[in-house]
Structure 1
Amino acid sequence: MEVVKNVGPPTGLKRTLFRLPLVLYRWGFGWLFGRRIMALHHIGRVSGKRRHVVLEVVSYDADDGSYVVASGWGPGAAWYRNVLHTPDVIIQVGRRTLPVTAVPLSKDEGADVLVRYASRHRMAAKYLLPRLMGYSVDGSEADYRAVGELIPFVRFVPRT
């Protein structure tokens, strides 16, 4: 595994395309994404304002109802820093709106999550996601494990 380039958050047209699912969630069409895309509603750590972002769900645990996402732009992503600061947030997945608590995963847990994701979504894992995030992988478990240790992951656990 090698780092290809330092990829930052999208700008311009790419940013608009990445945020399109958020518009669909606002219009009540979140069900179109099933459990693959979720909307995260959180509070800005500096501004205190409500913020919204859409994220790909990397893993879902039916036993406890938790969802895992990756911070593809790294630990500097605003949403990631915001949920570390204020972990009690709201997510929308499909037609469900849930109060959850954000729990960061360890590097080992993140590696395990990415390896499982790659086995379920081979094309996205090998060609699309690593390139968007700035990594080149050969498709081996060792490569996915190495990338998974570099990417911050967060588990959103339903509050009771």
Structure 2
Amino acid sequence: MTDLAVTLLRTRWLVRAPIWLFRARLGFVFGQRLLMLEHLGRKSGRPRYVVLEVVDRTATGYVLAAGFGERTQWLRNLDAHPNAHVSIGTRTHVPVTARRLQPDEAAQILRRYAARNPRAWAKLRPVFERTLGAPIWESGTTLPMVLLTER
């Protein structure tokens, strides 16, 4: 199962398909669990789009996990240009600012995610460990996480 999930995550057309639903203002079909992140390319400065799972939410924002670690393109782009926009549910083009979470903050959020979604975490953890190339510990994770705060 892990090999299949990793292969699917690396299949560009498949992971990009939800972008078209969001751009057609149909993102509400995903509820509040997925969002579309519109950010700028770090080198080109051109708009880039990716649909991601919301790992946690705060009163003013959303937490995302970079499943491919430090080589995750949207993460690298947000490091260069932290101002971005999200579409989630019926809300579109909401301005946000990105901030990387410290490992202890990320670990706390990961523990909450695992407690809320034990079956999903049981399936996702080995996939993330495979894509990261390192084990994920809820006590101090190597999984990069980002907080997107509404501006």
In the alignment, what sits opposite 1:72? 67
Residue deviations 1:39-73 (CA, integer Å, cap 9, x gap):
00000001111100011000012x3x210000001
What CA RMSD, in Å, does the superposition of the two structures yield over aligned residues?
2.0
SS state of the match for residue 46, structure 1?
coil
> Is residue 2:25 matched to residue 1:28?
yes
Looking at structure 2, the residues matched to 144 and 37 of structure 1 have their Cα atoms a distance apart, in angstroms, of 24
- TM-score relative to the length of structure 1: 0.81
> 1:34 corresponds to which letter in structure 2?
G
SS state of the match for residue 149, structure 1?
coil
> Is residue 2:119 matched to residue 1:119?
no
1:89 counterpart (76, 80, 84): 84
Residue 131 of structure 1 deviates from its aligned partner by: 2.6
The answer as to whether partners of 2:39 and 2:74 remain within 8 angstroms in 1 is yes
The answer as to whether partners of 1:99 and 1:158 remain within 8 angstroms in 2 is yes
> Is residue 2:50 matched to residue 1:53?
yes
Residue deviations 1:5-29 (CA, integer Å, cap 9, x gap):
xx69943xx3222222111101211
> 2:22 corresponds to which letter in structure 1?
Y
Looking at structure 2, the residues matched to 119 and 130 of structure 1 have their Cα atoms a distance apart, in angstroms, of 13
Equivalences, count:
141
Residues 128-147 of structure 1 mapped to structure 2, 5 A cutoff:
129-135=124-130, 144-146=137-139
Distance 1:8 1:46, change over 3 A: farther
- TM-score relative to the length of structure 2: 0.85
Consecutive unaligned residues in structure 2, runs of 5 or more: 1-5, 131-135
- Give identity over the alignment, percent: 39
The answer as to whether partners of 2:54 and 2:64 remain within 8 angstroms in 1 is yes
Residues 99-118 of structure 1 mapped to structure 2, 5 A cutoff:
99-118=95-114
The answer as to whether partners of 1:8 and 1:73 remain within 8 angstroms in 2 is no
Consecutive unaligned residues in structure 1, runs of 5 or more: 1-6, 136-142
The answer as to whether partners of 2:37 and 2:87 remain within 8 angstroms in 1 is yes
Residue 144 of structure 1 deviates from its aligned partner by: 4.5
